[in-house]
Amino acid sequence: MLFPENESQRLEVLNQYQILDTPPEELFDELAQLAANLCETPIALISLVDAEREWFKSKIGVTISEVPRSISFGSYTILEDQILIISDTLQDERFATNPLVTSNNYFRFYGGVPLITSSGFALGSLCIIDFVPRNLPVKEQVALQQLARQVIRYLELHRQKIIDDSQRSFNLLFSKNPNPMWVYNQNNLQFLDVNEAAVVHYGYSREEFLQMRTTDIRPPEDVPIFMDYLAKKYSNLDFTGQWRHKRKDGQIIDVEIVTHTIDYGSYNARLVNIRDITEHKRIEKTLQESEARFQVISEAIPVPFIISRVSDGLILYANPEFLQTFRFSPEYLVNHKTLLDIYHNFTDLESLLKILNQYGFIHNYELQLKRADGTYFWAIAALQYLTFNNESAILTVFYDINDRKNVETKLQEQNEFLRIIFESIPLMISLIDANGRLQWVNQEWENVLGWKFQDFQTHDVLEALYPNAEYRQYVINFMQSAQRNWGDFKTQVCDGRLLDTSWTNVSLSNGQIIGIGQDITERKRTELTLKAQAEREQLMRTVAQRIRQSLNLQDILNATTQEVRDLLGVDRVVVYQFDSEMIGTIVAESVEPGWTVSLGVQIHDTCFQTGAGVEYYQGHKRAIANIYEAGLTDCHISLLEQFEVKANLVVPILLEVSSKNPSSHLWGLLVAHQCSGFRDWKENQLDLLDQLTVQIAIAIQQSSIFEQAQTELIQRQKAQVKLRNTLVEKEVLLKEVHHRVKNNLQIVSSLLQLQSQTLKDPEVIKVLRESQNRIESISLIHKNLYTSANIGQIDVADYISNLAASLLISYQICPSKIALETDIDPLNLNVDQAIACGLVINELISNALKHAFPNQQVGIISIALRNVGNNIEMTIRDNGIGLPDNLDWRNTDSLGLSLVHDLVTEQLEGDITLERDRGTVFKIQFTQLTLHQ
């Protein structure tokens, strides 16, 4: 690839225009369109050539925005002084093998005028392109060159606007800067400009400033020093320094200035930024005065302390209490001024400095110290960094704990046996005091968590192990409960990983807590593996069950995409079907809200028509973590970008052509999309989709068989029409039968009523009334059947309302005492289910009326019947006193409850649950049967 001789300068000039990658502009688009119209070509471009590419500022007839410079025509145009014309690109050795010529673009003619600036640099080109060889008349060449000059004029206007904007930005930054700023002439020190902050801070008006020199705002005694300083510093582009300035009111202020050399019009000028440090200087003086006070106070403190230099450990100061405690004479300390002389072990000093360097302070560090006479004693040390006489220093304070340490030594000997036992146990053991501070840990604790006991001498162990405040409080609550059970927690180890652990606690009488824990990472990993395997197996069972239960392919595909998206946690799952021309269509989709919906969108995808995706025909599957690094074709990447895809899993759906021909046919693809970011897939996720495609293939073939069967059914339906007339007569007969059954049940109910009037025993009367209510519930079924338009179905809402009303009347319940509420979905039941439901409602409402509201208590009984998928959920609820806690309602002598249990489990083949919260709630769920069974 050839480059202009002035390539580096050309690129620098191009960048000054700041036009690369800017949005389209109408002026440039009109010029490009005019070039295409004048020369009658399908393509016209205004392009700019940078180091790597030819970028199109305006494009007519193409959709791409740039091409690599290695194949661009513009890289040759900028080498020319005049128009470059290539009548037939295939006859020019420079372009005969160019991809823009040999690919689908077929660029056969090119005419380009270089866009040359007034300084002689070629930035790009105005070009026209045709798909057939041709010549360009001289008249059109002249017109194209004139248009190119017009493009240059617009580019120059664009550049001038950038320069004007930059100048306005400088003026705004200068004038509105909160620090005083001014510009002065280096030759005569005359002020050229000042900002508003300088006018306010110094008290001079802007007009007064412009009549002054920089020497006028300095005290007279500082002017010679300033002039000498300028003479030495003029060779530098910028410099800084601290000076004294004089305000208009005569006040002398301390300032720090930063000076930069700038071009200001025709002047050789300097820009000065000023910061007032008067207050800072005052604080420094105050600090010097405070040092004298420090000497007096430190000598009166009754605690030994020293101040030592960080760099070499030199003792800069020791108070009298220190000299007395360590038995040092002032002369001895002058001759032995290092920290080494007071520590029993040099390693103690190293440990202290290491901890101090890590945390910045140390509290309550126990160590052994050495006196001047060679004796040793135990003390607590507290260390803190500070600045002393402008040097980095360490303040060390000591507390004598020698007596306490002797007592602790005896206790340690007594506890050594227990320590050895705890160290040998393969469990983490820790001791925490009532304030949550770590007192002791065993070796297993340190090995598993990676922390050392010493790490928590000055830090909260729970804060380190459980950084999240809310989760840490949950752990604290568990510890304080001190229950003898195990709890699982996510514990953060030293390297930042979260470890699965299990803990139990033992509370001691002094408020301390012994924590016993173990690493359960492997157990959790096994549990997660089993859970994932169970979820996959459940998904496979669910899809297989749907295939068995439904012949509707669309329902199966919709359910499958939803289940896969939930299990894999992806943003979109689609089923992509090919037609005979290998044009794809999204036939099923489950997508997370917020992402583009592809179902129903017209997709123009020619990738597969041009031979892409051959491996899918052979049954290959793909896991793509990053679509831009997977070697995909441009058309494939463009399609994925249209739907915001960053990564995906793709598995082909293959169908057997026939049992005699084992070869497979590519029906479509099952695809999982990750749109929120790139993603590394697991092997088992790809295998899961592969297994699902087998089930989907079964569903597709099953659906095809079903469609064939539909044709046969149409013929059968014609025969069924003839049977309907016969069924009408049968329905009339059945209605008569139901009518007579209802009348007979009514007679039995009346006989029971007459019988109860001759009896005196209340219990017997009660039994007869309950039997009468059960007969009434069955009688209502037959009444509804012979009055219903559908002889095999029962109107549930009407039936339950009538049944409940008859029960209230039977028990002589006043509506103002016990209210009855119903919430019934519109649904029908067959005879067997209706009778069973009626008897269940009869028993449970009777129980509520008899037992739930004693002593004329006011209450509510509600009945709800709802469709839940393919099931029916029936709920009978009351807000009465509830069933006794010790009552096992499934095993009781009560005929009613036993009847309820048998009806639900055997007749309805459903489930029943009891809730005792604020009353009594029976929830019954069973499968709806639409045919009479």
> What pLDDT, in 10s, does the model give residues 873-886?
999 999 988 888 77
Q: Are strands 647-656 and 664-674 parallel, antiparallel or unpaired?
A: antiparallel
Query: Which amino acid, one-letter code, is at 697?
Result: A
- Check residues 911 and 781 and name the one with the higher pLDDT: 911
Q: Is the pLDDT of residue 931 over 60?
A: no
* Whether the Cβ atoms of residue 61 and residue 23 lie closer than 8 Å to each other: no
Exposure string of 199-225, with b = 16+ CB inside 10 Å and e = fewer, is bebbebeeeebeebebeebbeeebeee
Lowest mean pLDDT among 40-54, 533-547, 570-584, 844-858: 533-547
* Whether the Cβ atoms of residue 124 and residue 160 lie closer than 8 Å to each other: no
Phi, psi of 502 (to 5 degrees): -130, 135
The DSSP symbol for 50 reads: -
Query: Which amino acid, one-letter code, is at 260?
Result: H
* Whether the Cβ atoms of residue 310 and residue 332 lie closer than 8 Å to each other: no
- Check residues 864 and 419 and name the one with the higher pLDDT: 864
How high is the pLDDT of residue 789?
Answer: 54
Q: Report the alpha-carbon distance of residue 340 to residue 351 in Å, rounded.
A: 13
Q: Is the pLDDT of residue 189 over 50?
A: yes
Residues 6+ apart with CB under 8 A from 595: 571, 572, 643, 644, 675
Q: Is the pLDDT of residue 576 over 80?
A: yes
Q: Is the pLDDT of residue 511 over 90?
A: no
Q: Is the pLDDT of residue 699 over 50?
A: yes
Burial class from Cβ neighbours inside 10 Å (0-12, 13-18, 19+) for residue 809 reads exposed
In what helix (H) or strand (E) does residue 673 lie, and over which residues does it extend? strand 664-674
**pLDDT, mean of residues 329-350:** 72
Angle at 452 between CA 451 and CA 455, to 5 degrees: 95
**Model confidence pLDDT, tens digit, residues 641-682:** 888 999 999 888 888 766 555 567 788 888 999 999 998 888
* CA 517 remoteness from chain centre: 32
Q: Is the pLDDT of residue 534 over 80?
A: no
* Whether the Cβ atoms of residue 463 and residue 434 lie closer than 8 Å to each other: no
Q: Is the pLDDT of residue 732 over 60?
A: no
- Where residue 821 falls among pLDDT bands split at 50, 70, 90? confident
**Model confidence pLDDT, tens digit, residues 843-860:** 888 888 888 888 888 899
Q: Report the alpha-carbon distance of residue 74 to residue 433 in Å, rounded.
A: 78
How high is the pLDDT of residue 310?
Answer: 85
Exposure string of 378-402, with b = 16+ CB inside 10 Å and e = fewer, is bbbbbbeeeebeeeebbbbbbeeee
Q: Report the alpha-carbon distance of residue 17 to residue 635 in Å, rounded.
A: 33
Q: Is the pLDDT of residue 482 over 70?
A: no
* Whether the Cβ atoms of residue 692 and residue 539 lie closer than 8 Å to each other: yes
How high is the pLDDT of residue 248?
Answer: 92
How high is the pLDDT of residue 686?
Answer: 81
**pLDDT, mean of residues 408-431:** 69
Polymer length in residues for the chain: 933
Contacts 24+ apart (CB under 8 A), 521-527: 524/488, 524/500
Q: Which two tokens stand for residue 781?
A: 């079924």
**Model confidence pLDDT, tens digit, residues 128-174:** 999 999 999 999 999 999 999 999 999 988 888 877 766 666 676 77
Q: Report the alpha-carbon distance of residue 677 to residue 645 in Å, rounded.
A: 8
Q: Is the pLDDT of residue 539 over 60?
A: yes
Q: Which two tokens stand for residue 795?
A: 């109107």
Place of tokens 């949005």: 23
Q: Report the alpha-carbon distance of residue 644 to residue 597 in Å, rounded.
A: 10
Kindly list the distances between the CA atom of residue 248 and the CA atoms of 152, 184, 218, 241, 252, in Å, as whole numbers in the listed order.
Answer: 53, 19, 11, 22, 10
Kindly list the distances between the CA atom of residue 861 and the CA atoms of 309, 350, 813, 824, 923, in Å, as whole numbers in the listed order.
Answer: 84, 79, 12, 14, 14
Q: Is the pLDDT of residue 778 over 80?
A: no
* Whether the Cβ atoms of residue 33 and residue 60 lie closer than 8 Å to each other: yes
**Model confidence pLDDT, tens digit, residues 610-631:** 655 667 777 788 889 998 988 8
Phi, psi of 431 (to 5 degrees): -120, 125
**What percentage of the chain reaches a pLDDT higher than 90?**
22
- Where residue 122 falls among pLDDT bands split at 50, 70, 90? very high
Lowest mean pLDDT among 99-113, 267-281, 741-755: 741-755
- Where residue 82 falls among pLDDT bands split at 50, 70, 90? very high
* CA 922 remoteness from chain centre: 41
Q: Is the pLDDT of residue 205 over 60?
A: yes
Max avg pLDDT among 201-210, 759-768, 893-902:
201-210
Q: Report the alpha-carbon distance of residue 352 to residue 380 in Å, rounded.
A: 12
Kindly list the distances between the CA atom of residue 860 and the CA atoms of 163, 239, 916, 921, in Å, as whole numbers in the listed order.
Answer: 82, 89, 15, 12
Q: Is the pLDDT of residue 906 over 70?
A: yes
- Check residues 902 and 171 and name the one with the higher pLDDT: 902
Burial class from Cβ neighbours inside 10 Å (0-12, 13-18, 19+) for residue 274 reads buried
Mean pLDDT of the chain: 81
Q: Is the pLDDT of residue 932 over 50?
A: no
Q: What is the DSSP string of 116-149?
A: E-TTS-EEEEEEEEESS-----HHHHHHHHHHHH
Q: Which two tokens stand for residue 805?
A: 């009303």
How high is the pLDDT of residue 329?
Answer: 77
**pLDDT, mean of residues 87-93:** 92
**Model confidence pLDDT, tens digit, residues 552-573:** 778 888 888 888 888 888 999 9
Kindly list the distances between the CA atom of residue 42 and the CA atoms of 128, 164, 782, in Å, as whole numbers in the listed order.
Answer: 8, 38, 82
In what helix (H) or strand (E) does residue 30 lie, and over which residues does it extend? helix 26-39
* Whether the Cβ atoms of residue 800 and residue 781 lie closer than 8 Å to each other: no
Q: Which residues pair with 820 in a beta bridge?
A: 861
Q: How many helices (H) and strands (E) does the chain have?
A: 25, 33
Residues 6+ apart with CB under 8 A from 246: 217, 218, 219, 252, 253
Place of tokens 């970011």: 677
In what helix (H) or strand (E) does residue 183 lie, and over which residues does it extend? strand 181-185
* Whether the Cβ atoms of residue 875 and residue 892 lie closer than 8 Å to each other: no
Q: Is the pLDDT of residue 933 over 50?
A: no
* Whether the Cβ atoms of residue 804 and residue 863 lie closer than 8 Å to each other: yes
Sheet holding 622-624, edge to edge: 584-591, 572-578, 664-674, 647-656, 622-624
* Whether the Cβ atoms of residue 679 and residue 658 lie closer than 8 Å to each other: no
Q: Is the pLDDT of residue 404 over 70?
A: yes
- Where residue 270 falls among pLDDT bands split at 50, 70, 90? confident
Q: What is the DSSP string of 582-597?
A: --EEEEEEEE-TTSPP
Q: Is the pLDDT of residue 792 over 60?
A: no
